[in-house]
Amino acid sequence: MKKWRCRLLLLLMLIMLLQGCWDAEELEGMFYIHSIGIDYVEGEYVAYAQIMNFTGTGTGEQQGEITPEVVKVAVGKGESGTTSIHSLYTSIQRRVYWGHLSSLVFHERAMEAGKVKTILDEFSRFPEIRPTLWMYVTSEPLDQVMVSYPIMEISNLYSFLGEPVESYEQSSRVTPVMKHRFMADLYEPGKTLVVPKIRVAKHKWRDQSGAQENLMLNSASFYGGNEFKGTLHAEDIKGLIYMDPDASRIPLLVRENGDPAATVILAEPEMEITPNLEGSEPTFDINVTVGGNVIEILENVTEEFIKEQAAKTVESQIRQTFEKGIGLGADVYSFGEKIYRKDVKKWHELSEEGELPLTEDSLNDITVEVEIIHGGEERLPS
């Protein structure tokens, strides 16, 4: 009997030591910020918060029917990024959780006004926000970007604002960039940030009711020397992708006498940039090795022809992107960083206000080697 009483007393003492959950927030009653957009208009920061409430998410009554989560956009203004965000709370009736924030979208006006470092500093000081946000820039109204829902009414979690990697792995265009990499490159001498530019496509998709708006990624913006340089679009950024060793599917059309002859899917390019500092002006050589699979033959062309023409096309794309960047005043391949890492003293001699002056002649030789890994079920003509 005495032993039983001791056990009961011990159990009561343990229960008293347990921490309760009376002050815990109900998850289904909270609002979750999925994406945030920052603009700068007439001396004020304007924050656009894409808010999700997962109480609407789940399977409908019919089997396989999915009910999308409820998505709203709140707008706040202030003299700083933080005050613009805090002004959102005055009209939100529930607690807001920032731990699921997936992306940060800068409007071009905020970048042109030089507010990038200030905004990122404020975001880095808030412990709920992760360093793995996807970073974007846009020139379109941020409220339109935030309310553009994915096609097929799938969850907003799988839009470009939440997950750009799967689309990139299937067709590599502009390399996605996370906040921690963005910030590392932002403070790296001679480095130019390449940021995916997002926009609303209004005529890519249609349903029974007509055109359906959807987010689109096929442009890149550049930020270097503490200033926004501008944007290059689809045809002018093809050379950039060969700078990314993680690029997994790069479609390339091979031509014969100007007509389409074959299509090759290139993947995992290996790139090396070599600075030459012997002359009065620095020049740079680029060496690229890339493998590919032939997925389409339109004319009777040989494997050697495909490899040769593919290499020439890649070389042309790399040079075109560089020259288009020169037109913006942007060091699109971060040549300046290569000199900084090789010879810091030389970098300080050559750089002007944190940037390396470049001309079209700064890019010297481009060597491209294309290896055909697989030619499909049919043998390639020899």
Query: For position 338, which CATH number holds?
Result: 3.30.300.210
20: in domain:
no
Q: Residues with Cβ < 8 Å from 310, sequence gap 6 or more?
A: 252, 254, 264, 266, 292, 370
User: Phi and psi for 273 in degrees, rounded to 5?
Assistant: -110, 125
Q: Are 91 and 222 within one domain?
A: yes
Are 64 and 100 within one domain?
yes
Within-domain flag for 342: yes
Does 307 fall in a domain?
Answer: yes
- The neighbour count for residue 90, using CB atoms within 10 Å, is 8
Of 232, 266, 285, which residue sits at a domain end? 232
Residues 339 and 244 in one domain: yes
Residues 343, 372, single domain; the answer is yes
Residue 4 is assigned to a structural domain of this protein: no
Containing structural domain, residue 37: 29-232
The two tokens of residue 201 are: 């496509």
Measured CA angle at 173 (ends 171, 178), to 5 deg: 105
Looking at the fold, whether 206 and 310 belong to one and the same domain comes out as no
- Domain annotation covers residue 203: yes
**Residues 220/177, Cβ–Cβ less than 8 Å:** no
Boundary-marking domain end, from 201, 232, 263: 232
Tell me the pLDDT of the chain (382 aa) as tens digits. Answer: 555 666 666 666 665 555 555 444 555 668 889 999 999 999 999 999 998 866 544 444 444 454 556 788 999 999 998 899 889 888 888 888 888 899 999 999 999 999 999 999 988 888 888 889 999 999 999 999 998 877 776 777 788 898 899 888 888 889 999 999 999 999 999 999 999 999 998 888 877 788 778 888 989 999 998 899 999 999 999 999 999 998 989 999 999 999 999 999 999 999 999 999 887 789 999 999 999 999 989 988 999 999 999 999 999 999 999 999 999 999 999 999 999 999 999 999 999 888 999 999 999 999 999 999 886 656 666 6
Question: Does 18 fall in a domain?
Answer: no
Are 221 and 260 members of one domain? no
Amino acid residing at 258: G
Q: How far apart are CA 297 and CA 353, in angstroms?
A: 50
Same structural domain, 128 and 60: yes
Same-domain status, 198 and 226: yes
Q: How far apart are CA 121 and CA 55, in angstroms?
A: 33
User: What is the C-alpha to C-alpha distance for residues 169 and 164, in angstroms, rounded to an integer?
Assistant: 9
Domain count, the chain: 2
**Which residue among 186, 211, 232 closes a domain?**
232
Note whether 101 and 245 are same-domain residues: no
**Domain annotation covers residue 177:** yes
Q: pTM for the whole thing?
A: 0.86
Residue 3 lies in a domain: no
Residue 111 and residue 275: Cα distance in Å, rounded?
30
Is residue 185 located within the same domain as residue 41? yes
Q: Which two tokens stand for residue 267?
A: 């993947």
The reply to whether 249 and 214 lie within a common domain is no
Instruction: Please name the residue ranges forming H helices in 255-381.
Output: 303-328, 335-342, 344-350
* 227/252 same-domain check: no
User: Which of 7, 28, 15 is closest to 70 using CA atoms?
Assistant: 28
